[in-house]
Amino acid sequence: MNIFINKKKLQFHLQNNEISYIIAPLKNNHIGNLYYGAKIEHQNDFSHMIQESDYVLPDTPNIFEDNFGFTLDTVKAEYPSFGQGDYREPAIEILQKNGSTLTDFKYKSYRVISGKPSLESLPATYVEDGKEALTLELTLEDKVIESELILTYTIYRDFPVITRNVKVINNSSEFLNIKRLMSMSLDLDRDNYSIFHLSGGWSRERQFIEREVKHGKLSINSSRGTSSANHNPFIGLKRGYVDEKVGEVFGFNLIYSGNFKGSVEEDHYGITRVSMGINPFNFNWELESQKEFQSPEAVMVYSNKGISHMSKTFNTLYRTRLAKGIYRDKERPILLNNWEATYFDFNEKEILNIAAKAEELGIELFVLDDGWFGARNDDSQGLGDWTVNYSKLPSGINGLSKKIEEMGLKFGLWFEPEMVNKNSDLYRSHPDWILEVPNRKGTPSRKQFTLDFSREDVRDYIYESLEKIIKTSSISYIKWDMNRPMTEIMSNNLPYTKQGEVAHRYILGLYELLEKITKEFPHILFESCASGGNRFDGGMLYYMPQGWTSDNTDAVDRLKIQYGTSMVYPISSMGAHISAVPNHQTGRITDINFRASVAYFGSFGYELDLNKITLVEQNLVKNQIIFMKNNRKLFQFGDFYRLRSPYKGENTSWMVVSKDKREAIVGDYTRLINANYGFDRLKLTGLDPDLEYKVESDSSIQNKKGKGDELMNSGLIFGKTFFGTSPLNESIGDFKSRIIKITAI
């Protein structure tokens, strides 16, 4: 890893073993992009790579009166603004006192830092020692508005990763109105691109969606107050032919949990501009004199080894250098959550009964979900009143948690700290603590309202309420839920000029509280949740190493959800539970081994009353738990590879491989069976070509052993699916799966 600097020409080449990123001031001293892609040898001068025309381009504005070739209309810009001839998506817009939004930030100086500075008040990837990364800070200046812009780039030594963030410093005596400050903008050379992103909705989060990039603009965004299930803050770009194993891929992810925008625009010369940052829609930040504004971090991954290398990079970086705390590297406890078992309708006896069976079958952590506090007997009341409901739980959380621990289980508890029902003591005593527009009726969602987390007094109250329960009980795990999109995003605590800041201030407030609580209680494993996967993003992952992937626990639907999620987020971060059938979200019936074989590839648990399944199934559960305990290190900390896509047919397959490549587990799933399908082959990935492996599975697989090169190039051979007069093999049929263990001999 290196940052080469040509001090005379002011060219900056960020390079590691896999990538090169070259930038330099253009003729007008805005920063331009010369190259981003596979590593290229360093040269002392890259001037020839600057994409400038030496002839007059028709219909373009010219920055210089004596150089009609130089126009911002066609350059590859690093941080573009609108107003001087670049008509594409701008990265920055600052409204000034005179009504103009034109800014003209010109290169002023640079600084190289060993390692990676942390971002004030915002989550970001980090390093553990200064040798893991190098950081380049470019300072730009706009003399008219007396402000500086700091563009920060970090290159990692061990990953094909560049992270970016931006800061504005107002050195003037006036305030500035920031209307847009994207975390990154990048112009890529003319080529054939297609975009893929992770979009969906509640219960079908992070679906893999792909389409061609053509002349014009396409954006994904959220204005719901959370990063959302509708669009994850991720954009992938494929250049030319790409599949899991080959081709060039650019991945962009914003480490942020609130409103965001990611856009891709192909211009009239075929340059493709990608940008990502806080959603400028409805955003406005009044930056006072001598104050700074910091953008969230954008992570950019480049792979010329297909999508799987991009995912492996994101997965490993996020698991080891974004998630933090003692659980980062710990195998995650196998939990049972009572939500789908009881919903709001439970008492202590029933809970102990569910927990006792869970313990008997090998579960390690019992989680009590919604309904344990205030008058919370349904979702219309009690939210915000964080005092135990003694009529349901006569020994309190304190007593219950101890009883559960005495059984040999750890105890976990659900909170939804950011919300309130109007029918609650909290709302009755602080009606002004919710987000609302004065004189207008608020819009409920799930009969609840959003507490104004931009307010310190609200956050302090919530912290103290949680602290009291945590300190008086034995709590090892907290599920931090958040169950509605925001509306009426206004604060009673801010003047009208600052209302455009509320959505971002909310997220900053949330981060501040999460920082405090995770620091104060480092022994607690936190799991984030937002109506399932409504806020499954890098921002939350920084504080909480796992998240509830989706409220949809149907194993068939989970194939698509977990497959999509794995594009960016590590297996260890995906809460994956086995629930009852018929499934509560889809009504589908699948057998318990199929459900388990999907949930193994995640932070594994159960979401049902195990007393209510048959003895045969209880035995299967026992064995599933033993299997998971024996293999969870591999599942949660191995490298994950997608083999067959649930978006492309009835078969899905994926696998995990240990870092030393001596062990792997393949999950192979059939949605609807095709009769008389013939022989099927599955080529594996990530093994050591020279090692000899043992293959353990059901009898439908012909290979009993094989060298890594054979298993990856010729593949596993699945026996035929139609047996004429004999009964079908147990792994054949609708909703069937195989778990295949591969071990080096």
Amino acid at 317: L
Binding mask 330-369 for ligand DGJ (x = CB under 6 A): ---------x-----------------------------x
132 DSSP 8-state letter: G
- C-alpha span between 542 and 160 (Å, rounded): 20
Cβ-based neighbours of 496, under 8 Å, separated by 6 or more? none
> Nearest to residue 163, comparing CAs of 64, 40, 16, 54?
16
Binding mask 253-272 for ligand DGJ (x = CB under 6 A): --------------------
- Catalytic member of 73, 142, 385, 481: 481
Kindly tell me which of 165 and 531 has the beta carbon lying closer to ligand DGJ: 531
- Residue count of the chain, please give it: 745
Of 93, 141, 244, 370, which lies in the binding site for ligand DGJ, with binding defined by CB under 6 A? 370
- Catalytic member of 551, 557, 668, 680: 551
Amino acid at 67: N
Per CB under 6 A, the segment of 89-97, 110-118, 271-279, 524-532 that binds ligand DGJ is 524-532
Residue linked to tokens 């050591």: 688
501 lies in the site for ligand DGJ, by CB under 6 A: no
Amino acid at 118: S
Shortest distance, position 339 Cβ to ligand DGJ, whole Å: 5
Shortest distance, position 538 Cβ to ligand DGJ, whole Å: 19
- C-alpha span between 490 and 254 (Å, rounded): 24
Kindly tell me which of 183 and 534 has the beta carbon lying closer to ligand DGJ: 534
- C-alpha span between 573 and 569 (Å, rounded): 7
Kindly tell me which of 18 and 370 has the beta carbon lying closer to ligand DGJ: 370
386 lies in the site for ligand DGJ, by CB under 6 A: no
End-to-end CA distance of the chain: 37
483 lies in the site for ligand DGJ, by CB under 6 A: yes
Binding mask 543-582 for ligand DGJ (x = CB under 6 A): -----x--x-------------------------------
Of 213, 323, 388, 529, which lies in the binding site for ligand DGJ, with binding defined by CB under 6 A? 529
Of 532, 539, 545, 708, which lies in the binding site for ligand DGJ, with binding defined by CB under 6 A? 532
- C-alpha span between 562 and 207 (Å, rounded): 9
- For this structure, is 457 an active site residue? no
- For this structure, is 698 an active site residue? no
Per CB under 6 A, the segment of 240-248, 323-331, 526-534, 562-570 that binds ligand DGJ is 526-534
Kindly tell me which of 135 and 207 has the beta carbon lying closer to ligand DGJ: 207
79 lies in the site for ligand DGJ, by CB under 6 A: no
Burial letters 457-473, b for 16+ CB under 10 A, else e: ebbebbbebbeebbeeb
Residue 110 C-beta-side C-alpha neighbours within 13 Å: 20
> Nearest to residue 415, comparing CAs of 376, 456, 458?
376
Report 126-165 residues binding ligand DGJ (CB under 6 A).
none
Kindly tell me which of 132 and 609 has the beta carbon lying closer to ligand DGJ: 609
Shortest distance, position 150 Cβ to ligand DGJ, whole Å: 39
User: CB of 655 within 8 A of CB of 667?
Assistant: yes
- C-alpha span between 486 and 97 (Å, rounded): 31
User: CB of 355 within 8 A of CB of 337?
Assistant: no
Residue with the closest Cβ to ligand DGJ? 370
Of 202, 414, 594, 640, which lies in the binding site for ligand DGJ, with binding defined by CB under 6 A? 414
Beta bridge partners of 297: 255
Kindly tell me which of 153 and 372 has the beta carbon lying closer to ligand DGJ: 372
Report 108-127 residues binding ligand DGJ (CB under 6 A).
none
Of 223, 454, 531, 737, which lies in the binding site for ligand DGJ, with binding defined by CB under 6 A? 531
- C-alpha span between 319 and 311 (Å, rounded): 12
Kindly tell me which of 90 and 547 has the beta carbon lying closer to ligand DGJ: 547
- C-alpha span between 249 and 374 (Å, rounded): 50
- C-alpha span between 473 and 725 (Å, rounded): 61
297 lies in the site for ligand DGJ, by CB under 6 A: no
Beta bridge partners of 37: 20
Q: Catalytic site residues?
A: 481, 551
Residues engaged in binding ligand DGJ (CB under 6 A)? 339, 369-370, 414, 481, 483, 529, 531-532, 548, 551
